[in-house]
Amino acid sequence: METAIVKKTNKFINTADSVVDDSIRGLILSHDSLATLDCCCRVVLRADIDKLKGGKQVTLLAGGGSGHEPFAAGFVGKGLLSAAVCGNIFASPPTSHIMAGLNAVRNSSGIGVFVINYTGDRLNFGLAVERFNTDREKEDGEAEIVMIGDDVALENSIAGRDIGRRGLAGAVLLLKIAGAMAEEGKDLKTITATSRIINDNLGTIGVSLSACSLPGRGPMFELEADRMEFGLGIHGEPGFERSEYKTAKEVTKLLLEKLEKSQKLNLKKDEKLIVLLNNLGGTSQIELNILSGEIYSYLCKFYPYLIFPSKFLYSIK
């Protein structure tokens, strides 16, 4: 008989059960451009939502499990999302909360709904959009879903074929472009069609030196101190390989080669690239700077590119 003892990780929280609501409260109190619904505090929206709905602009909604901040509530604002629906940590929001969000941003021009590809999000957002479109008033525009799947790590595996491409940090770039298009007055069909083209040309792959952990619990998996995992998901899902520790240069080369050769991207020399270097939560700024330099050294010979290193989509530690 074996007994495993996993030490829980300490975090600045009040209780594990109040984490999401306390987080949203702090976000709203520190940003006067944001608000929550009276009927559902898990829906974060622009404070000027009534003015926005009164115009001809398409509204945009996204969401998913909490624990990935700033995604998605942190991207509510001008030129980005109109509203975000926040689930529990690493859990999709219920259909009733998504319906509340859709009703809060309903307007004559329609709603673009952006969903990162995970089973719970697909089911709950899909059902909510179906109900909204069935029950909407004649003067309301329809809601249309854009599914985002940018992970290339598992494309040759059985798991990858079964679950499809997981949604990762590349979603943030797509949301920014869609938000800019909505701000410019583009119609719903143009925004969703362009977003799907972007998704078809979007690839992401991750690497980690340590495990994520839920509030009040220990790490979600074990990873030895001298090992790293390639291709893991944002909820601690396994990747495609564990290996001994590698240098920043070696890691960069491995990841970029995987992206270059992926079935989804199949990059050609001289193609223009936008690179998001996402901090999943355990990487210091000095490490991001080093990785940015290695990305430059690898790409500069063959690809014109822009790079944006920051924390876009987090995996709570």
226 and 127 assigned to the same domain: no
As a whole number of angstroms, the distance between CA 44 and CA 30 comes to 13
In the predicted structure, residue 9 carries a pLDDT above the cut 90:
no
Bridge partners, residue 307, by sequence: 275
pLDDT of residue 219: 67
Q: Number of helices (H) and strands (E), helices first, in the chain? A: 9, 11
Determine which of 30-44, 50-64, 165-179, 300-314 has the lowest per-residue pLDDT on average.
300-314
Quick one: pLDDT band at residue 213, thresholds 50, 70, 90? low
What CATH number does residue 291 fall under? 3.30.1180.20
Rg, the chain, Cα only: 20
Q: Is residue 9 part of a domain?
A: no
Model pLDDT, residue 269: 85
Tell me if 217 is assigned to some domain.
Answer: yes
The yes-or-no verdict on residue 127 having pLDDT over 60 is yes
Which of 215, 240, 234 lies closest to 278 in space, CA to CA? 234
Least confident of 34-48, 134-148, 208-222: 208-222
Please state the domain count of the chain: 2
Q: What is the mean pLDDT of residues 144-152?
A: 97
Q: Which residues are 230's β-sheet partners?
A: 207, 241
Q: What is the mean pLDDT of residues 282-287?
A: 92
Average of per-residue pLDDT across 182-211: 94
Instruction: Give the 3-state secondary structure of residue 30.
Output: coil
Of the chain, the percentage scoring pLDDT greater than 90 comes to: 72
Q: In the chain, where does DSSP find H-type helix?
A: 19-29, 49-54, 95-104, 119-135, 158-163, 170-183, 188-200, 248-260, 285-299
As a whole number of angstroms, the distance between CA 149 and CA 168 comes to 7
Residues 110 and 244 in one domain: no
Whether 317 maps to a domain, the answer reads: no
Pair (159, 292) in one structural domain: no
Examine the domain organization and report whether 151 and 38 are in the same domain: yes
Do the beta carbons of residue 259 and residue 267 sit within 8 Å? yes
Domain contains 11: no
Does residue 2 surpass a pLDDT of 60?
no
The model's pLDDT over 72-86, given as tens digits with 9 standing for 90+, comes to: 999 999 999 999 999
State pLDDT tens for residues 79-123. 999 999 999 999 999 999 999 999 999 999 999 999 999 999 999
Instruction: Note down the domain range covering 254.
Output: 207-310
Name, in order, each residue with C-beta under 8 angstroms of 5's C-beta and a sequence gap of 6 or more: none
Nearest to 86 by CA among 104, 108, 59, 64: 64
User: Which residues lie closer than 8 Å to 130 by C-beta, 6 or more apart?
Assistant: none
The pLDDT of 206-234, averaged and rounded, is 76
The per-residue pLDDT for 1 is 45
Determine the 3-state secondary structure of 64 from DSSP.
strand
Task: Tell me the C-alpha distance between 115 and 179, whole Å.
Answer: 14
Is 117 inside any structural domain? yes
Question: Is the domain of 217 the same as that of 185?
Answer: no
3 pLDDT exceeds 50?
A: no
Q: Is the pLDDT of residue 22 over 90?
A: yes
- Burial of 90-105, coded b for 16+ CB within 10 Å and e otherwise, reads bbbbbbebbbbbbbbb
Residue that is last in its domain, among 183, 200, 217: 200
Structure confidence at residue 75 (pLDDT): 98
Which of 184, 200, 216 marks a domain boundary?
Answer: 200
Q: What is the pLDDT of residue 265?
A: 87
Residue 279 within any structural domain of the chain: yes
Q: What is the CATH number of the domain that holds 104?
A: 3.40.50.10440
For residues 107 and 255, state if they share a domain. no
* 43, 144: one domain: yes
68 in Cβ contact with 313 (< 8 Å): yes
Task: Mark whether 60 and 164 lie in a shared domain.
Answer: yes
Q: pLDDT band at residue 162, thresholds of 50, 70 and 90?
A: low
Tell me which residue of 180, 232, 190 sits closest to 75, measured CA to CA.
Answer: 180
Say if residue 49 is in the same domain as residue 118.
Answer: yes
pLDDT at 172: 97
For residue 14, is it within any domain? no
Contact 87, 63 (CB under 8 A): yes
- Are 211 and 296 found together in one domain? yes
DSSP state of 10: P
Residue of 231 and 248 predicted with greater confidence: 248
Tell me which residues are annotated as active site: 235
**What is the rounded distance in angstroms from the CA atom of residue 114 to the CA atom of residue 116?**
7
Do 158 and 275 lie in one domain? The reply is no
275: β partners: 307
Structure tokens that stand for 285 in this block: 């700024």
- The SS3 call for residue 54 is helix
pTM score, two decimals?
0.92
Quick one: 74 and 185 in the same domain? yes
* CA distance linking residue 230 with residue 243, whole number of Å: 8
The pLDDT score that the predictor gives to residue 178 is: 99
What pLDDT does residue 307 have?
92
Q: Considering the domain boundaries, does residue 12 fall inside one?
A: no
Angstrom distance (rounded) from CA 160 to CA 147: 16
Residue ending a domain, among 176, 200, 224, is 200
| Mean per-residue pLDDT, 14-41 | 96
